[in-house]
Chains A and B, each alone.
Chain A
Amino acid sequence: MGNNFKNKRLFTLLIWIVIIATIIAAPSLLPSFRLNLLGRYLSLAIVALGVDLIWGFTGLLSLGQGIFFALGGYCAAMFLQLNSAAGFPNGIPEFFGLYGVQNLPFFWEPFKSPIFTLLAIWLIPSLVAGILGFLVFRNRIKGVYFSILTQAALLVFFNFFNGQQRLINGTNGLKTDVTKLFGQMVGSDSMQSIFFWITSLLVILAWFFTRWVVSDRFGKILIGIRDDEPRVRFTGYNTTLFKTIVFSIAGGLAGVSGALYTVQSGIVSPQFMTVPFSIEMVIWVAVGGRGTLLGAILGAVMINYAKSLVSEVLPASWMFIQGGLFILVVTCLPEGILGWLQGNGPRNLLARLGLTRPITTYPSLKEKDKDEVIL
């Protein structure tokens, strides 16, 4: 057992060395286009960490993380639009002119302040998530009903943002790449490489944060909720509160991720709130390994990178590959890649090929092994 544990530690360390080496080496090795893509995918890793927190640890499958992702993106984009709106008529962003809007809608006002924006990027999504979560969890709506409700909520937000041209430019979204920050174009290469560094830093911070969240008693309760919620409740814990808190943390992470993604992709639009995108987030975690925070990061970056590479060569085949990957992971590899590697996967595979002896152990020991969460 102890030996196994040490191995896993070593393994995790190894992955971290690879990740950090990639982050340090990438800016000098990759052309700016690829670097930008890598930065975007790293920012998606943050939302994946949130999904892992609520799904992998707490067992809440949210199909509406796109709401919080897009909200964060909109917060950042609104600030950037206002920041560079000085030259336009009425001193408000250009697109308002298209719809004949003269005055800034009231909710845009606070986004003139950079400090408010920095707070809003994570605070607004987590508040929205908290309220939504509280309303749902209070009634003990859970399992698939929770998933369906979050998906419906996603659709509500999508339709709302998509239809309101006069408030937030509707389906066209808000562009950020032609806006200015500190006198520089946000879309310029130098700015983008700064954003890459910020993203990398925040991914590591988010990992430490989520690890801290799950490492203590709090994390044990989350896992308890996932495995047997009534039991946790009968023991005297208020599971609604715990679920609401963790859902709102995930919302905040999604918001940060959305803001970083927006400044790097150059636009935020209601497309961030479409159903497929939110389900994809879940898949990154499923492929990487749910309940292993590192798996979420790896899954998000690897799948997205694969997606862009495959789409460049064979645009039509990505849907097949992605669909097949879903089915394969769910049916054959429920613990995800990292979970498989950290568990006895490789040894079992070798054993099946006849290269080593299969591990025989007592079922109870096996159960213990499964429950041990590797961070």
Chain B
Amino acid sequence: MQLILESLFNGVAIGSVLLIAALGLAIVFGLMGVINLAHGELMMLGAYSTYVTQLVFKTPLLQPFYNCYVIVSLIVAFLVAGIVGILLERSIIRRLYGNPLETLLATWGVSLILQQFVRSVPLAYASGFIITILIGLILPLIIPKKVHHHSRAYVVKAGVWGISVLFGLLSANWLATSISRIGRASARNVDVTAPMWMRGGFDFLGITFPVTRLVIIIITIISVFSVTWFLNQSVWGMRIRAVTQNREMSECLGIATNKVDVLTFGIGSGLAGVAGVAVSLLGSVGPNVGGSYIVGCFMVVVLGGVGNLLGTIIASFSIGIMTDLIGAGRLISIWPDMPTPLASTVDFFATTSMARVLIFALIVVFLQFRPSGLFPQKGRMVEN
């Protein structure tokens, strides 16, 4: 019983990391049909923003609140990844809608640039850049409409961007001087240290559950619920689904499809940032951290059925539990007197990488029977 519970917990823990990473992808890929290979790099940005947030919370001013930096970093990571996602959508992906293969190649280029960017640009200045854009985007929303519609709107616009650049520069400068570690560019991996309350374990029924894992599971649950709520209950969520189903008709009914695109992509990217926070709690953060998740994420989405959140959830948890069952060799401990040839086969796959081999192979076999995943989209449609 204990064994099964422990295995289940580990599986759910692995699965929840996969799920939080795949959630954003499920939105971007499932709803917009965009293959975002830079998704892993957006996660990486989220992980780095956790690192920067943590360092900021170590400065004397914010030291007393150090324990809750993880919660703040969730918001920061969401904003950072979301903003980069929006920039990406406006500059590149907008031109490539309807050509998933082209978006795949272009976003791969973006991912290369982002990887090199964190290597060769000091994190302090990168943060300053993000702050500039954030202020530049938010200020026009705060300024009263009257000023906007003034005949000299461009002056206001220039003023807004001027202010945001100033703020960005100042904050970059402050970050670079007060936290010397991010004042210089470095290609080295960095480590995010968990606050005190997240270290150690949580005892339940004689089993110790690591608190970090529990936190990640909670983050995942919250994100899944808020995404479900947003898509199903809110006005903008409804608009997103409408545009997904029929773009032309939605446009005719007065939905601003441009805004919907930006919003959808921004949310998908922001979720990648949140996933980055989870990833940063698990291990060290480097420029390549995203690359190791991206293929797994796509497999989750494909296995679950594109455009179906429930499928994504089931797929990621089943992959997680399978990984733990196979990779940790638990099958042998569950069934000790297994016949020898079977036992040696199980033993052969009892490493993390070999478990991945087997699971991916199993997914490919599964897709033989259900080519469009666990929950295929219903209805009769002409192919293409």
- Taking Cβ atoms with an 8 Å cutoff, the residues of A that contact B are 61, 135-136, 138-141, 143-145, 147-149, 151-153, 155-156, 159-160, 162-163, 228-230, 275, 279, 282-283, 286, 316, 319-320, 322-327, 329-331, 334
Among B211-219, B278-286, B362-370, the one that faces the other chain is B362-370
Q: Does B112 interact with chain A (Cβ within 8 Å)?
A: yes
With A143-B101, A230-B382 as given contacts, are A323 and B364 in contact (CB-CB < 8 Å)?
no
Contact B371 A331 (CB under 8 A): no
Is B191's CB within 8 Å of the partner chain A?
no
A230 to B115, CA, bound (A): 40
A147-B104, A230-B383 given; A323·B291 CB < 8 A: no
A326 adjacent to B109 (CB under 8 Å) = yes
Name the segment of B2-10, B77-85, B224-232, B294-302 touching the other chain.
Answer: B294-302
Q: Could you list some 23 contacts between A and B, CB below 8 A?
A: A61-B101, A135-B364, A141-B367, A141-B371, A144-B100, A149-B367, A152-B295, A153-B360, A155-B356, A160-B357, A162-B353, A229-B383, A275-B291, A275-B295, A283-B105, A319-B115, A322-B109, A322-B112, A323-B111, A323-B113, A326-B105, A327-B92, A327-B110
Known contacts A229-B384, A319-B112, A319-B113: A148-B354 contact under CB 8 Å: no
A326, B101: Cβ atoms under 8 Å?
no
Interface residues of B in 140-158 (CB under 8 A from A): none
Whether B384 pairs with A152 at a CB distance below 8 angstroms is: no
Choose among A61, A141, A230, A324 the residue that contacts B384 (Cβ–Cβ < 8 A): A230
Give the nearest-CB partner of A55 in chain B.
B101
User: Which of A147, A156, A228, A327 touches B109 (beta carbons < 8 Å)?
Assistant: A327
Cβ of A145 and Cβ of B368 under 8 Å apart? no
User: In the complex, are the beta carbons of B360 and A323 less than 8 A apart?
Assistant: no
Known: A152-B298, A320-B116. A327 touches B356 (CB 8 A): no
* Closest Cβ–Cβ distance, residue A255 to chain B (whole Å): 21
Contact B106 A331 (CB under 8 A): yes
Interface pair B295/A155, CB less than 8 Å apart: yes
Interface pair B95/A331, CB less than 8 Å apart? yes
Counting CB contacts under 8 A, is B351 at the interface?
yes
Residues in chain B near residue A275, CB distance under 8 A: 291, 295
Please, how many angstroms separate the alpha-carbon atoms of A331 and B106 in the complex?
8
Interface string of B222-264 (1 = CB under 8 A from A): 0000000000000000000000000000000000000000000
Decide yes or no whether B120 CB sits under 8 A from chain A: yes
Complex contact A153–B364 (CB within 8 A): yes
- Complex CA gap A304/B100 in Å reads 26
Residues of B within 8 A of A144 (CB): 35, 100-101, 104
Task: Check B102–A140 contact: CB distance below 8 A.
Answer: no
Which B residues are closer than 8 A to A by beta carbons? 35, 92, 95-96, 100-102, 104-106, 108-113, 115-116, 119-120, 291, 295, 298-299, 302, 351, 353-354, 356-357, 360-361, 363-364, 367-368, 371, 382-384
Bound-complex Cα distance A326 to B360 (A): 28
Contacts of A228 in B (CB 8 A): 384
Contact B384 A151 (CB under 8 A): no
Chain B nearest Cβ from A168, distance in angstroms: 14
In the bound complex, residues from chain B placing their C-beta under 8 Å from that of A279 are: 105, 108
Q: A202 to B368, alpha carbons, bound, how many Å?
A: 37
Contacts of B371 on A, CB cut-off 8 Å? 139-141
Instruction: Verify A156–B101 contact, CB threshold 8 A.
Output: no
Other-chain contact of A319, B116, B356, B357 (Cβ < 8 Å): B116
A323 touches B116 (CB 8 A): yes
Q: How far is the CB of B323 from chain A (nearest CB, A)?
A: 12
Q: How far is the CA of A135 from the CA of B364 in the complex (A)?
A: 9
B106: which of A148, A162, A163, A327 is its contact (CB, 8 Å)? Answer: A327
CB-defined contacts of B291 to chain A, threshold 8 Å: 275
Contact check, A331 vs B356: say whether CB atoms are below 8 A apart.
Answer: no
Q: Given A144-B35, A144-B104, A326-B108 in contact, is the A152-B116 Cβ separation under 8 Å?
A: no
Collect the chain A residues with CB atoms within 8 Å of residue B367's CB: 139, 141, 149
* Across-interface contacts of B116 in A (CB, < 8 A): 316, 319-320, 323
Q: Cβ of A151: which chain B residues have Cβ within 8 Å of it?
A: 295, 298
Q: How far apart sit A334 and B116, CA to CA, in the bound complex (Å)?
A: 25
Bound Cα distance from A134 to B143, whole angstroms: 60
A334 to B113, CA, bound (A): 20
Complexed CA–CA distance, A149 and B295 (Å)? 9
A334 touches B298 (CB 8 A): no
A173–B298 Cα gap in the complex (Å)? 28
Q: Is the CB of A163 within 8 A of B353?
A: yes
Identify which of B96, B298, B368 contacts A331 (C-beta below 8 A).
Answer: B96
Min CB–CB distance B311 → chain A (angstroms): 14
* Docked-complex contact B298 and A155, CB < 8 angstroms: no
How near does chain A come to B64, taking the closest CB pair, in angstroms? 40
Q: Which residues of B contact A149 (CB under 8 A)?
A: 302, 364, 367
- In order of increasing CB-CB distance, the 6 nearest A-B pairs are A326-B109, A323-B112, A319-B116, A323-B113, A139-B371, A323-B109
Q: Which of A139, A155, A282, A330 touches B96 (beta carbons < 8 Å)?
A: A330
Our pick among A152, A230, A330 for the contact of B102 (Cβ within 8 Å) is: A330
Query: How far apart sit A313 and B101, CA to CA, in the bound complex (Å)?
Result: 33
A contact residues around B364 at 8 Å (CB)? 135-136, 149, 152-153
Closest to A135 in B: B368
B100 touches A143 (CB 8 A): yes
Is the beta-carbon distance between A156 and B357 smaller than 8 angstroms? yes
**Is the pair B100, A155 in contact by a Cβ cutoff of 8 Å?**
no
B25 nearest CB across to chain A (Å): 11
In angstroms, Cα B382 to Cα A140, docked, is: 13
Say whether A145 contacts B302, CB under 8 Å.
Answer: yes
Complex contacts, A160 vs chain B, CB 8 Å: 354, 357
Tell me the smallest distance from the CB of A129 to a CB of chain B, in Å. Answer: 14
Alpha-carbon distance A329/B351, docked complex (angstroms): 41
Q: What is the CA–CA distance of A152 and B293 in the complex, to the nearest angstrom?
A: 12
